[in-house]
Structure 1
């Protein structure tokens, strides 16, 4: 029995060391493989838009433009969208909406090279965009990045609609701590059954700003938005940077009010209800989500105090937008969105609900799992769905990585990492 425990402990640490080496070597290999030498430094202006002209798209008769227009009750839907995809905020659900919309209209995506993110957590550079050349036109950018506004502006048209999404920082911290814990060495040394509770008991004892992947553990929203997540919350730079974020983004959605957020988005860009229908993607099994006690919630908010300031600021502006839209109008539209989504659940999803990874029949529908776990749920496509709706249902249910592959994105590095994980059974 003792020998078995020793062997299991040895295997555990072999995996830890292996993962640590891979986490360092794979991004380094990627960086070396994507070095570019540009001899022509001429900066060309970004075109106003490369949206399909009327008649180019066979899937819709609406005219799509690079700017939404609401004159004389005529609404020209906007196609140039920058979605700053934050972590653990229902962003995978929203990116599915954007991918379907862009594919339907044959829009041009600014996708990353070789992987599913723009070399995160490095600050975004325009050269991270696949097939980027100065003056190239793109419509939609929506993959994970660490936001860098000046570089993003060199890829997209000037009047692109900028949008992002925030989540209650206490809930976000819990999700991030458990989802990314295996790739944050700072958490490996924490003892006890509830590592998160022990961490929050005295975060400074465990946290180091220079620790590998430590940004996942403190003010992750502020970090994703390109800011210094280790500032003191009372530092005057925090308020200044929040104002800069507010000036850059046209809409900041809230995960806790996702449907209301979609309605505001639809109204802002003149889309239709059909364009924002969705299924919840990349969600954890409820049985794996620990409930935050009031004490732990207070500690998590204190530890992530910059994110809490950020969230409170945009929570206020969000409800001002709802008031301007009209409370009754919003209630009616949310009710319609829910009704339409419920109809699609019956049409598309076997059993009408998500299932754990082991119960997904089609390997192509398996979502990406956190290291060491299989906690992310997925779906089985309804076997009885008619041919006319099968493709639509599949696109709404397919996980993000598979959809990106279908759109022609070369994810060789992400897939390599997936194969390595299988080899070491992680």
Structure 2
């Protein structure tokens, strides 16, 4: 079970899992009508497509607000649970940019640099009861099913971290993505080729706000619970790396990078991600934030050898399209997409 957190390279992990599940004939618990499990509602097993009492699945990996008992009811008792975290300052920057058009709290900020204005005095701008306000404070703690308005010193935060550590056998760290994947491979007895990936849902560099050291500190302080969570699990990750062996890890990461570089040369036209409007195959264009086209995608080479064509296509397929290929009727997501297109006109 992969808890897909927001703004953490989780879409890249999702692509890995979808390919692995397909390749090995595993049974997915998929959402119904949209690409998440009715987020931000707390997960319920009835959110699963075609759920029937007693149903058992192998993989759950779409966005949800975690609810351990409901998730556990769908999976074998020996299921491996993992998730991924990222520096909350960077999560905040990315979330603020991506969701600001659907967070009314940000509409009242009139300066040119809304993110800086918010961080300079967040108490003025934030209201925990505001629509979609969870995107602006301790988003990962919220994703994990806890109260995102708690302060870091609250004993409930420490008990929540203990509960997370007990439930999740691995918490990946986005800043150490490849090391995290190697630990995942080791835990699940995967092969190196199971880890192959292209980074999905990257943003155009000019759309990324470069946080000054002062703003980074303010973002971490504002998201203090997520910062505490991140530091705890960053330490646990490196404890696992040390147990695995630093030299051994370096060799494995090098192998993974070499394999990914080889696949990029085989699959990607031009070898890198391109702007949304430059993606030639319209069916391969990724989902975009409201009113923008800042998420990059890929062009697939046209002269790929037969043995690589299917793999290349799947590695380059964005989440929405991949879920459609798996049989999910994303009518709600597509309706929202149509509405977003109207807003861009």
Q: TM-score range by the shorter chain?
A: over 0.9
**2:291 corresponds to which residue?**
372
1:425 and 2:344 are equivalent in the alignment: yes
**2:140 corresponds to which residue?**
221
Give the secondary structure class of the aligned counterpart of 2:344.
coil
- Contact 2:290 2:344 survives alignment (8 Å): no
Whole-angstrom distance in 1 between the partners of 2:86 and 2:98:
15
Aligned counterparts, 1:355-370, within 5 A: 355-370=274-289
- Contact 2:33 2:330 survives alignment (8 Å): yes
The partner residue of 2:202 within 283, 290, 300 is 283
**1:209 corresponds to which residue?**
128
- Contact 2:291 2:341 survives alignment (8 Å): no
Give the secondary structure class of the aligned counterpart of 2:83.
strand
Aligned counterparts, 1:39-188, within 5 A: 82-188=1-107
- Contact 2:292 2:344 survives alignment (8 Å): no
Whole-angstrom distance in 1 between the partners of 2:219 and 2:175:
17
Number of corresponding residues: 345
**1:73 corresponds to which residue?**
none
Shift of 1:206: 0.5
Q: TM-score if structure 1 supplies the norm length?
A: 0.80
The partner residue of 2:212 within 293, 296, 304 is 293
Shift of 1:193: 1.2
Whole-angstrom distance in 1 between the partners of 2:167 and 2:307:
41
- Contact 2:35 2:333 survives alignment (8 Å): yes
Whole-angstrom distance in 2 between the partners of 1:295 and 1:159:
44
Give the secondary structure class of the aligned counterpart of 1:419.
helix
Shift of 1:387: 2.3
The partner residue of 2:236 within 317, 327, 333 is 317
**1:272 corresponds to which residue?**
191
**1:384 corresponds to which residue?**
303
Whole-angstrom distance in 2 between the partners of 1:170 and 1:144:
21
The answer to which structure, 1 or 2, has the higher relative contact order (CA under 8 A, 6+ apart) is 2
Whole-angstrom distance in 2 between the partners of 1:214 and 1:166:
20
Residues 48-85 of structure 1: CA deviation (Å, up to 9, x unaligned): xxxxxxxxxxxxxxxxxxxxxxxxxxxxxxxxxx0000
**2:109 corresponds to which residue?**
190
**1:12 corresponds to which residue?**
none
The partner residue of 1:401 within 304, 314, 320 is 320
Shift of 1:286: 1.3
Shift of 1:221: 0.5
Residues 300-355 of structure 1: CA deviation (Å, up to 9, x unaligned): 01100000000010011100000000000000000000000000010000000100
**1:30 corresponds to which residue?**
none
Whole-angstrom distance in 2 between the partners of 1:312 and 1:318:
10
The partner residue of 2:175 within 252, 256, 274 is 256
Q: TM-score if structure 2 supplies the norm length?
A: 0.99
